[in-house]
Amino acid sequence: MSRNRRRTTQAQDRRRHERNARLSDTLREVIADELAKLDDERLAMVTITSVEVDSEMNHGTVYFDSMRGAAGDEGIVEALNDYRKRLQHEIGVQVRSRRTPVLQFKPDETMRAAARIDAVLREDARRRAAGGSADSGSTSSADG
């Protein structure tokens, strides 16, 4: 009998996870649509990359990226916080949920880390294509 309970619990967890993923996607779309309607230069070229919501839908973390990079993060967070109540209201209207999460805004470090890795790989490829340099003699001698 305990085995049946375990299956039910796993199935419930899977459904809860799927629901949470759908909800996060929906919130990302609603927030992105609302930001597109705003006429605020601080939010120009800002992309909402993902939204994480807790299972009780009390809190939501909105991750963003922008062309300004880390230098523009503070201004973007400030602008997003200025529109936080409006965004939460629109979520409540469009999602039709009993609860609307309190939003928090953070830059998406995943995108920036990927860009740094990409830059390192490109630099390495450029060095290899150039045949190496004097300071990378250990790599050249290992090939020989």
Give the pLDDT confidence score for residue 123 in this predicted structure.
Answer: 94
The alpha carbon torsion through 127, 128, 129, 133 (nearest 10 deg) reads: 50
Residue 14 has pLDDT above 70, yes or no: yes
pTM over 0.75: no
Give the Cα separation of 122 and 132 in Å (integer): 14
What average pLDDT does this structure show over 42-62? 91
Give the pLDDT confidence score for residue 144 in this predicted structure.
Answer: 43
Domains of the chain, earliest start first: 2-132 (3.30.300.20)
Give the pLDDT confidence score for residue 33 in this predicted structure.
Answer: 94
